[in-house]
Every structure is written in structure tokens, then in C-alpha cells.
Amino acid sequence: MSRRDDLAEHLQFFEELGVAGVSRDPAWRHRGSGEPPVPISRPQSVPVDETLELVREDLGDCVRCKLQAGRTNIVFGIGHPTADLMFVGEAPGRDEDRQGEPFVGRAGQLLTKIIASIGLSRDEVYIANVIKCRPPNNRNPEIDEIQQCEPYLFRQIDVIKPKVVVALGAFAARTLLRTDQSISGLRGQIHDYRGAQLVPTFHPAFLLRSPERKRDVWEDMKKVRSLLAG
């Protein structure tokens, strides 16, 4: 795809969302720029020397659950280590398992556009999943698998200390919030979560099947933008 075609596709996506314009350099884009942000309470239990590298080292070549038998790569997470905005999805798919990076398939391409709609790039956010190995046939992760992976996601969140966490899809939102409420019911609400504000929204893969819901995601991302600016 040429740069012109890529730009046209992005503009078409913004039009579908109802985006009137995108700031090229929002004031909240970089930590340490402009006025200091309003202090947000953070978890106090994180060791001062904790890093994402240490979390990854502790995870190791994980064999803690049965998903290890069928994986190609552990998909740990990627992005800025002190990002103000973090996205959490469900689990790696086929493309992610092959490349060892979250959200690299069609859903990932759509997520990149969603991030761009609020004036950010993938390099400026952090992206992870609840589960770090691909479930067979893309089935939903099981309880024992969640229990083994969750502590590492929690440590990632506590190290990064994002201002906003976006839960992508029903599974991620329900798992993080410990609820069985539908994603439609959770959308539109802002939840306190591990020192951050958690915003549930639809998963990009769902938007590929139901593009008419893109406008709903744009409404959620406008909330995210406001929280980041606060």
C-alpha cells in the first residue's frame, strides 16, 4: 500500500468515527511537558527497582499452564515503558503468536488507527493482553490460565503507572473488573483501577465484524483523551 493509499484509508476511518480533526501535538502527549498533571494515587507495593525487563525475566520461558505446549512465542507486551495510556486485550491470535508482538494482525491495524484518532502513535502507548500465550483455536482463556498470567499483567500495569487503561473487549473488561456484566453495559463508565482510570470499549476484532460500532469506540476514545488531558 502506498503512503497516499494509507493516508486515504486513515482519513476514511476517521470519517467513519466522526472525527473532525486530530491534534498533531496534544499537550498531554509527553510526560513532563506543560503543566504538571493532577497527582493520581498509585499502588504503593511496587518495589522501587521493579522494571518491565525484570517482569519479563521473571516470566521466563513460561510453562506455568497448558498453553505453553502450543505456543510459538510468548507475547509479553510492547510500547513506551512509562506510557500514560495502556491498552489491554484478551490474548494473542495467530499473527501475534508468530511475531511475538500484540495486535499485529487486522485487529491490530485497526487499533493503530484508533490510537491515531487521539493524536498518538503505538510507540507512545503500551499494549498488552491478559493472557500471554495463544489459546488453541482462539478459544477464550480458562480460569487456571488467567490465574497464572494475571500477576504479570498486574506488575506491568504497576511498573508503567498509566493514567488510563483501555480494556479492549468483553473478556479483558470482565477479567480486570471482576464482573460478568456485558461490554455494552460496561461501556460509558470510568472505573478506578490500580491507580489508573479504566475505560472499557469494544475490541477491534469486533469492529471488523460490526463496523457500525466504530462511532461508539470514538465516543470512548474521547473520554480517554479527556482523562489524559486532566
Q: Is residue 104 part of a domain?
A: yes
Distance separating alpha carbons of residues 112 and 96, to the nearest angstrom: 15
Tens of pLDDT, residues 169-195: 999 999 999 999 999 999 999 999 999
Q: How confident is the model at residue 222 (pLDDT cuts 50, 70, 90)?
A: very high
- Please check whether residue 33 lies inside any domain of the structure: no
Q: Is 11 domain-assigned?
A: no
| pTM of structure | 0.84
Share of the chain above pLDDT 90, in %: 78
Query: Residue 40 has what pLDDT?
Result: 35
CA 126 centroid distance within chain: 7
Asked if residue 161 belongs to a domain, the reply is: yes
Which residues on neighbouring strands pair with residue 87, listed in sequence order? Answer: 127, 166
Distance separating alpha carbons of residues 65 and 148, to the nearest angstrom: 7
Instruction: Write out the residue range of the structural domain in which residue 86 sits.
Output: 48-229
In a domain, 17, yes or no: no
**What's the rounded Cα separation, in Å, for the pair 33 and 25?**
11
Q: Give the total number of structural domains in the chain.
A: 1
Where residue 144 sits, what CATH number does that domain have? Answer: 3.40.470.10
Does 78 reside within a domain?
Answer: yes
Instruction: Give dist(CA 167, CA 89) in Å, integer.
Output: 6
Task: Note whether residue 59 is domain-resident.
Answer: yes
pLDDT tens track for 116-163: 999 999 999 999 999 999 999 999 999 999 999 999 999 999 999 999
Residue 63 placed within a domain: yes
List Cβ neighbours of 39 (8 Å cut-off, separation of 6 or more): none
